[in-house]
């Protein structure tokens, strides 16, 4: 039985209580996690605020902050395999994905390390001859970062890295579902040499999240998760007037035109919905395929789905592992049953696998006779693809935008002008053309509508952790002539 602790003010602690964490591959308890109460949350925020105001951090140059982040990047890269193994054990995400993803997470810390001393202000050509006015970008303050269990080292890095580069301090709450990799990451962070309290990592349930996001000393909340939880966070932020950045879910359209490369598009669709066992906010979960190629494309996709290797997540041969929780598996079963009741048809999959663990097979549902099926509008967070067909470009656009979400979209076509029209017409924060699920620290990531606001990655993410200070300097030595007139 492994035991994982909180990291608060540069110290490791067990927290008020502990809770058990299940191995999704077996359904058995494998570790004990510290469970944050309100006192733990308060201690973490107090540590973050103390560090933010301390001369060791507030007085550190931006270049020095960047060097610390660069050292952190090196340590993450060195420890990527160990972190990957822990994430696989605690969340069920397959080892071939966690290994590759965590190795790439180091690049996010390197990118923002390089940006730390590139934050610039501006001089204003003010309309008053005896004034110099300039703008300074300063850190917003204490950041509450709340992350889900899926891809949590990646989703944490895109918050921690820009926040620290900007000079903020952070309290990160890892999801109670699979927090082990973040609590292990704390041990790596502790080796770097940051001032104590700059980063604090805790875990716990909704009560801990509520205490953190409404805390009066929190200045910004960065959240990744579901829309309903985001609503609670926004309500909580009314207590402290914290700014928010929200990266939420999606029902992303994956659009295949009749001139697309069938094999390439099918491979991308497999990656878009079945990779990570479908547990991805950008999962291409709505396939919109041109009616003239629907049968051919579905046949190709069905063959690929049924050839996927389902197995233990720590086996490099496995392509789809278990879902992270039993709750997700039950949600998938319920949504599929309700969709079949209104006329949708199973193409493949759809039945939970027998035996230990939270396994669910790659599933394709044809919704041709059920345009209002629940599977088309609800986020599964599982390996379930819903399919509709379209007759022309205008219908494809209408169907793509028929959602409250707007995180991502994929367009597959060899027609360049059509691709540009689709890019312009689709309401989503990301549009991939003839590819899917590509990410980079250089490129912003985020969405529209119920997919949230704010961006992660790129220069814009760094600026989201800053605030503007306007400085006025009077250059005249003459006395102010009239104190009752604004000048």
Distance CA 182, CA 459 (A): 25
What the block records as the tokens of 213 is 């996001």
Tell me which of 281, 300, 324, 375 is the catalytic residue. Answer: 281
Please identify which of the residues 87, 97, 176, 247 carries the catalytic annotation.
247
User: In angstroms, what CA-CA distances link 486 with 46, 128, 357, 483?
Assistant: 40, 11, 71, 8
Residue with tokens 């469970």: 35
Rounded to the nearest 5 degrees, what angle is found at the Cα of 158, between the Cα atoms of 105 and 280?
80
Q: How far apart are CA 243 and CA 226, in angstroms?
A: 18
Instruction: Clarify whether 247 is annotated catalytic.
Output: yes
* 37 carries an active-site annotation: no
Compute the chain's Rg from CA coordinates: 24
Does residue 472 sit in helix, strand or coil? strand
Question: Beta-carbon neighbour count of residue 375 at 10 Å?
Answer: 25
State how far the alpha carbon of 169 is from the alpha carbons of 146, 165, 203, 363, 480, in Å. 14, 10, 17, 43, 41
Is residue 365 within 8 A of residue 357, CB to CB? The reply is no
Q: Which of 225, 152, 177, 378 is nearest to 234 (CA)?
A: 225
CB 174 within 8 A of CB 146: no
| Measured distance CA(467)–CA(334) in Å, rounded | 45
Residue with tokens 């918050």: 159
List the catalytic residues: 247, 281
């Amino acid at each position: 039985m492994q035991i994982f602790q909180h990291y608060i003010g540069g110290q490791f602690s067990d927290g008020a209580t502990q809770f058990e964490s299940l191995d999704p591959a077996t359904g058995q308890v494998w570790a004990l996690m510290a469970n944050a109460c309100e006192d733990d949350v308060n201690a973490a925020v107090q540590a973050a605020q103390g560090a933010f105001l301390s001369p060791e951090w507030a007085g550190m140059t931006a270049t020095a902050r960047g060097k610390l982040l660069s050292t952190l990047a090196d340590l993450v890269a060195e420890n990527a395999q160990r972190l990957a193994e822990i994430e696989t054990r605690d969340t069920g995400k397959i080892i071939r994905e966690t290994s590759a993803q965590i190795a790439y997470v180091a690049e996010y810390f390197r990118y923002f390390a390089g940006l730390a001393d590139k934050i610039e202000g501006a001089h204003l050509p003010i309309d008053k001859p005896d004034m110099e006015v300039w703008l300074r970008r300063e850190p917003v303050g204490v950041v509450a970062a709340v992350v889900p269990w899926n891809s949590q080292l990646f989703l944490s890095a895109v918050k921690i890295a820009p926040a620290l580069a900007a000079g903020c301090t952070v309290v990160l709450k890892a999801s109670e579902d699979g927090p082990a990799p973040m609590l292990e990451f704390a041990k790596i962070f502790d080796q770097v040499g940051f001032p104590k309290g700059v980063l604090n990592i805790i875990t716990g349930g909704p009560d801990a999240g509520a205490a953190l996001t409404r805390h009066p000393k929190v200045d910004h909340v960065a959240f990744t998760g579901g829309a309903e939880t985001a609503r609670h966070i926004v309500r909580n932020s009314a207590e402290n007037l914290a700014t928010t950045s929200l990266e939420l879910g999606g029902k992303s359209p994956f659009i295949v035109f009749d001139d697309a490369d069938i094999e390439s598009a099918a491979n991308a669709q497999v990656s878009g919905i079945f990779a990570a066992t479908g547990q991805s906010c950008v999962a291409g979960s709505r396939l919109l395929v041109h009616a003239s190629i629907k049968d051919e494309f579905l046949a190709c996709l069905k063959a690929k789905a049924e050839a996927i290797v389902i197995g233990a997540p720590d086996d490099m041969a496995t392509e789809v592992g278990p879902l992270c929780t039993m709750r997700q598996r039950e949600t998938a079963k319920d949504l599929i049953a309700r969709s079949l009741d209104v006329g949708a048809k199973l193409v493949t999959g759809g039945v939970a696998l027998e035996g230990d663990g939270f396994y669910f097979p790659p599933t394709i549902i044809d919704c041709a006779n059920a345009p209002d099926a629940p599977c088309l509008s609800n986020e599964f967070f599982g390996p379930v693809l819903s399919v509709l067909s379209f007759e022309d470009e205008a219908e494809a656009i209408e169907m793509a935008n028929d959602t409250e979400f707007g995180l991502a979209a994929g367009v597959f076509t060899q027609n360049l002008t059509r691709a540009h029209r689709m890019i312009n017409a689709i309401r989503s924060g990301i549009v991939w053309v003839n590819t899917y699920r590509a990410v980079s620290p250089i490129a912003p990531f985020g969405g529209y509508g119920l997919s949230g606001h704010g961006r992660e990655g790129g220069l814009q993410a760094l600026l989201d952790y800053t605030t503007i200070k306007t400085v006025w300097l009077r250059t005249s030595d003459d006395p102010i002539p009239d104190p009752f007139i604004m000048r």
